[in-house]
Amino acid sequence: MREKRKLDHLKLALQSNTQSNSSSFDELHFVHRSLPEKNVQESTLSTKIGGQQLNSPLIINAMTGGAFSTEKVNHDLAVIASETGIALAVGSQKAALRNKELIRTYQIVREVNSKGPIFANLSADSHVEDAMNAIDMIQADMLQLHLNIPQELVMPEGDRNFNGIIDKIHRIKEAVSVPVIVKEVGFGMCQETYKVLNDIGIEIIDVGGKGGTNFVWIENERREAKDFDFIKNWGQSAALSLIESSAYQDKIDFISSGGIRNPLDMVKSFALGAKGVGLASPILALLKEHGIEKTIDQIHNWHDQLKSILTMLGISCIEDVIGTPLIIGGTTKEWCECRDIDYKVYAKRGLSE
Ligand SMILES: Cc1cc2nc3c(=O)[nH]c(=O)nc-3n(C[C@H](O)[C@H](O)[C@H](O)COP(=O)(O)O)c2cc1C
């Protein structure tokens, strides 16, 4: 059942991404500067997440493993990550913890990419021993614990009892030796969630916002009656999730993901406080449609384009993006008004200098 589900996800994910044609990132605007006094070649894209130095802020986010045919996909993703120097997360390793024959479908990433940053992945509803085994399986540099409650509820065979997950995350965080990332899978997060995670010592969060891969839509497609269609817009965008995170950014490193389409979305994420950006289905789509070489070229191109945008903003590194003014409009602004979040603070940054 789990193997079949993994294959369904690979197939349906690419269709799900075409479901939304607008993005909250389009409601955010930088202020153009005509005299940046910067040189593109002096820009750097390095960043620090969970105390680990990364050469690029890009992460190929968790997707697959766990069905025999997915070994090839993970092999290709590992080649892409290795050639471009970006981090790679494997998909949920639960399948391999239950069936040892599937371990290969994950270990291939470490074989191909022996030195690069690789993240393990499990549901947040996991036991400490499973978390340790998942890390060991691929000698992971970090562990992602995913939260996907709407997906489970729409999934016919999904979980229905979510009691005790906070305690499980806490126990795993205390027990494992690598940094723990708590991530959503496309529904976003809010201040209330950040408070809970901060209280149990979580130091890295991937906001996994709405607007890209849509797991309610995917699971609804897998239901015979397709009767959960009405809930397909559930959740917060990555932009909103980052805006919600401002009070926690000095304690927690945030990663932006969910519907990231291009380098401008990435730089807007940095302006909202993110230290890294995760992409899942856009990488899968590139790989499927254009193959390994073209995907590598595209990521190199994104790196160059990121540097171009930094230069236009008059800065040379990712951590300085947070000082640049950003205008917030549309429904994102309305959300801020309703939640009593001061969106004008973003527009006024740097004005007194
Ligand atoms: C085919 C596929 C499988 C996925 N499987 C997992 C998974 O096993 N664990 C997980 O944490 N996230 C999983 N995700 C979610 C992604 O990591 C990411 O959070 C989500 O797709 C939003 O990013 P995107 O809009 O760039 O695709 C999967 C995504 C896709 C497309």
The pLDDT value recorded for residue 98 is 96
From ligand 1's centre to the CA of 340, what distance in Å?
A: 31
Q: Which residues of the chain have pLDDT under 70?
A: 17-21, 352-353
The whole-angstrom separation of Cα 18 and Cα 12 is: 10
- Residue 315 vs residues 43, 225, 277: alpha-carbon distances, Å: 8, 52, 19
Kindly state if the Cβ of 13 falls inside 6 Å of ligand 1.
Answer: yes
Tell me if 247 is assigned to a ligand binding site. no
Alpha carbon distance 191, 247 (integer Å): 8
Determine if ligand 1 sits within 6 Å of the CB of residue 93: no
Q: What pLDDT shows up at residue 19?
A: 57
3-class secondary structure, 67 = coil
Identify whether the C-beta of residue 55 lies closer than 8 Å to the C-beta of residue 84.
Answer: no
Mutate to test the pocket of ligand 1, among 12, 63, 187, 266 (most ligand atoms within 8 A of CB): 63
User: CB within 8 A of 274, min separation 6: which ones?
Assistant: 57, 207, 242, 254, 255, 256
- Tell me, using a 6 A CB cutoff, whether residue 155 lines ligand 1: no
Pick from 333, 316, 334: which is nearest to 324 by CA? 316
Nearest one of 266, 270, 233, 232 to 254, comparing CA atoms = 270
How many whole angstroms from 216 Cα to the centroid of ligand 1? 12
User: Residue 3: what pLDDT?
Assistant: 77
Rounded distance between C-alpha atoms, residue 165 and residue 149, angstroms = 11
Q: Is 235 in the pocket of ligand 1 (CB under 6 A)?
A: no
**Mean pLDDT of all residues belonging to the chain:** 96
Known binding residue 223? Answer is no
Ligand 1 centroid to residue 62 C-alpha, Å: 5
In one letter, which amino acid is 136? Answer: D
CA angle 303, 307, 309 (to 5 degrees): 115
Nearest CA to ligand 1 atom 30: 63
Closest alpha carbon to 81 in 108, 104, 101: 108
Q: Please give the Cα distance from 166 to 105 (Å, whole number).
A: 29
Residue of the CA atom closest to atom 7 of ligand 1 = 91
Ligand 1 atom nearest 257 alpha carbon: 23
Q: Are 323 and 120 in contact (CB under 8 A)?
A: no
Q: What is the largest CA-CA distance in the chain?
A: 61
Q: Is 2-347 a domain of CATH 3.40.50.300?
A: no
Distance between CA atoms of 91 and 77, rounded to whole angstroms? 11
Q: Is 44 annotated as a binding residue?
A: no
Domain boundaries, the chain: 2-347
> β-strands 87-89, 118-123: how paired?
parallel
Phi, psi of 264 (to 5 degrees): -65, -40
Please check if 260 is assigned to a binding site. yes
State the DSSP string of 185-215: SSS---HHHHHHHHHTT--EEE---BTSS-H
State the distance between the two ends of the chain, measured CA to CA, in whole angstroms.
Answer: 59
Closest CA to 330 of 26, 8, 4: 26
- Tell me the angle at which helices 70-84 and 104-112 cross, rounded to the nearest 10 degrees: 20
Q: What is the pLDDT of residue 78?
A: 98
Q: Is the CB of 73 under 6 A from ligand 1?
A: no
Q: Does the beta carbon of 209 sit less than 6 angstroms from any atom of ligand 1?
A: no
Expressed in angstroms and rounded, the spacing between residue 68 Cα and the centre of ligand 1 is 18
Nearest Cα neighbor of 315 from 300, 326, 331, 327 is: 326
d(CA 65, ligand 1 centre) in Å: 12
Helix (H, G, I), strand (E, B) or coil at 68: coil
Tokens 């890209």 correspond to what residue?
212
* Residue 64 among known ligand-binding residues: yes
Residue 13 among known ligand-binding residues: no
Name the closest-CA residue to atom 23, ligand 1.
258
**Cα separations (Å) of 234 from 99, 211, 215, 231, 241?**
33, 10, 10, 6, 13
Beta-bridge mates of residue 197? none
Residue 5 assigned to a binding site: yes
